[in-house]
Structure 1
Amino acid sequence: MYALVTGASRGIGRAIALQLARRGYDLLLVARSEDLLTALAEELSQKHQRQARLLALDLAAPGAAETVSTWATQQTDQLAVLVNNAGYGLWGRFEQLSLSEQQNMLQLNMALPVALTHALLPTLHKAPKAYILNVASTAAYQAVPSLSLYAASKAFLLSFSRGLRYELKTSNISVTCLSPGATTTSFADRAGMGAELQATANKVSMTPEAVAEAAVTGLLAGEAEIIPGVLNKVSAGLTSVVPKGIVEKIAAGIYEKYL
Structure 2
Amino acid sequence: MKTALITGASRGIGRAMALELAQRGYDVLLTARSEPQLNEVAAEARKLGRAAQVLPLDLASPGAAEQLAAWATAQTTELAVLVNNAGYGLWGRFEDLSLAEQQDMLQLNMHLPVALTHALLPTLRRQLKAYILNVASTAAYQAVPTLTLYAASKAFLLSFSRGLRYELRDTSVSVTCLSPGATTTDFAGRAGMNAELQATANKVSMTPAQVAQAGIGALLAGEAELIPGALNKVSATLTSFVPKSLTERIAAGIYEKHLK
Shorter-chain TM-score category?
over 0.9
Which residue in 2 is equivalent to 1:108?
108
Divergent runs of 4+, >4 A: none
Offset of residue 22 of structure 1: 0.6
Q: Which residue number corresponds to residue 205 of structure 1?
A: 205
Count of residue pairs brought into register by the alignment: 258
The residue that corresponds to 2:181 in the other structure is 181
Report the Cα offset of residue 220 of structure 1.
Answer: 0.2
Equivalence for 1:141:
141
Cα-to-partner distance string for 1:119-147 (whole Å, 9 max, x where unaligned): 00000011110000000000000000000
Report the CA distance between 1:83 and its aligned residue.
0.2
- Consecutive unaligned residues of structure 2, counting only runs of 5 or more, are none
Give the CA deviation at 1:40: 0.7
Partner of 1:29: 30
Q: Note the C-alpha offset of 1:171.
A: 0.4
TM-score (norm 1): 0.99
Separation (CA, whole Å) in 2 of partners of 1:107 and 1:127: 29
Q: Per the alignment, in what secondary structure is the counterpart of residue 83 of structure 2?
A: strand
Q: Aligned pair 1:39/2:15, yes or no?
A: no
Residue matched to 2:242: 242
- C-alpha deviation, 1:101, in angstroms: 0.1
Q: What TM-score comes out, normalization by structure 2 length?
A: 0.99
Name the CA distance, whole Å, in 1 between partners of 2:252 and 2:25: 43
Residue deviations 1:91-119, cap 9 Å, x none?
00000001000000000000000000000
Partner secondary structure for residue 193 of structure 2: coil
Give the Å deviation of 1:151. Answer: 0.1
Q: Which stretch shows the higher mean deviation, 158-167 or 37-46? A: 37-46
1:7 aligns with 2:11: no
- Once residues 94 and 178 of structure 1 are traced to their aligned partners in structure 2, the CA distance between those partners, rounded to angstroms, is 26
Q: Tell me how far 1:177 sits from its aligned partner.
A: 0.2
- CA distance in 2 between partners of 1:171 and 1:62 (Å): 30
CA distance in 2, matches of 1:105, 1:45: 32
Deviation at 1:88, TM superposition (A): 0.3
One-letter code of the match for 1:44?
Answer: A
Q: CA deviation at 1:14?
A: 0.3
Displacement, 1:41?
Answer: 0.7
Q: How does 1:44-193 map to 2 (within 5 A)?
A: 44-46=45-47, 48-193=48-193
The offset of 1:85, in angstroms, is 0.3
CA-atom RMSD in angstroms:
0.4
Aligned-partner Cα distance in 1 for 2:95–2:136? 24
Secondary structure at the aligned position of 1:222 is classed as: coil
Q: 1:29 corresponds to which letter in structure 2?
A: L
Question: d(CA) in 1 for partners of 2:178 and 2:123?
Answer: 22
> How far apart are residue 227 of structure 1 and its match?
0.4
Counterpart amino acid of residue 60 in structure 1? A
Matches of 2:83 and 2:215 in 1, distance apart?
Answer: 10
Find the aligned partners of 1:40 and 1:163 in 2 and give their Cα distance: 32
Q: Distance in 1 between matches of 2:83 and 2:189?
A: 23
